[in-house]
Amino acid sequence: MSMAARSADRRPSAATVEILRTLVGFPTVSRDSNLDLIHWVRDYLASHGVASVLTSGKDPGKANLFATIGSGEGGIVLSGHSDVVPVDGQDWHSNPFVLEERDGLLFGRGTCDMKGFIAACLAKVPMLASANLSEPVHLAISFDEEIGCKGAGHMIEELVARGLRPRGCVVGEPTSMEPVIGHKTGSAYGCAVHGLEAHSSLAPYGVNAIFYAARLIARIEAIAARLRAEERRHPGYSVPFSTLSAGVIEGGQASNIVPALCRFRFDIRTLPWTDPDAIVAELQTYIDHELLPEMRAVHAGARIEITMNGRVPGFAIDADAPLTRHVQRLAGSNAEPGFVAFGSEAGLFQARGVPTILCGPGSIEQAHKPDEFVALDQLARCEDFLDRLAQTPFEPA
């Protein structure tokens, strides 16, 4: 049976679909503001008697939202991000910011990553607000997750400052409603190689920044090959070793000019037992002891600068941890918990002592692509999950 046919078997509530329609209509691409969406959610929650706390970083056009339904200590956080990736240059068959239903699927940017989860949570607010909850349910909606989880950190610091100590967190990333218990640490870097410009006919009198950048990239590739050959494997991951990859490079002005500047960006995705800072330190040693002496023999002002542009910490929770078993029961899952290649804010919650797991509607295979979609059946399963969450106390011990 096809996915579309299976999806048509069950529908979520009309409330979830309509809220998702509203959320998709806010074009919250990470480079733009998310305030219209956040303010709409704040007002929606207020209409059901739920107060919100908004936090932001240095960008006045961005905000996180944190809200608590119910009272008492502890509680479970339901966490999702409001931002989406761009649609520029993608071949969509419908308006990416207008929800469209076709063959049991809901199309639109962010439907699976991850406004579908947020919509289902918001649709359940009236039920949660009127339920006799044994402990509170917290809603956490962050900004700029797609460019390094930049918003969640501010929200979590506010949570800590207010003395809130949730007993667990479910990040609703698209996992097809199957529990996920780990992902790698992702670190993004920029590198600027500063040499000395010269006419290409006098190449030995210049310091070719592209040549030295290429040598450094070759060393990055060599480290990646070493990890692939020698690092201890993690059988839970489809790529069971840490990886390095160069993604963007730019430099030079003309073929007859020795370039004085070359910039490139690279990322490192590491398993728990590999330290990305140690990898960068190894690169710095290579720079200091091999590249710079050669460069400065020609030009004393030559330099190479590596900067970290962002880091999404990895996370891991035991397959038999109380939160894992609880989420398996809520999701009605009989599968062994898995691992994913993408990142999330899970590690940020975990670093603050909040046990965290991923479980949400939709598949990451549809995320970031043209014609992104979430299946109606997946949203219905998410609603079932939330109904059980309201009815089933979490026993962490």
Would you please indicate which residues are annotated as catalytic (active-site) residues?
83, 145
In whole angstroms, give the CA distance from residue 356 to residue 351.
10
Record the tokens describing residue 16, joined without a space. Answer: 């979830």
Helices (H), 25-151: 35-47, 116-123, 125-130
Which element (helix H / strand E) includes 52?
strand 52-55
User: Can you name the residues that pair with 261 across neighbouring β-strands?
Assistant: 194
φ, ψ (nearest 5 deg) of residue 38? -60, -40
* Residues in CB range of 307: below 8 A, 6 or more apart: 189, 190, 191, 192
Angle at Cα 257 formed by Cα 256 and Cα 263, nearest 5°? 130
Q: What length is written for the chain?
A: 397
Helices (H), 182-333: 209-230, 276-286, 292-298, 322-331
Q: How far is CA 337 from CA 321, 326, 345, 377, 382, in A?
A: 11, 12, 18, 21, 17
Cα-Cα end-to-end distance for the chain: 41
Amino acid at 162: R
User: Can you name the residues that pair with 222 across neighbouring β-strands?
Assistant: none
SS3 185: strand
In whole angstroms, give the CA distance from residue 366 to residue 310.
25
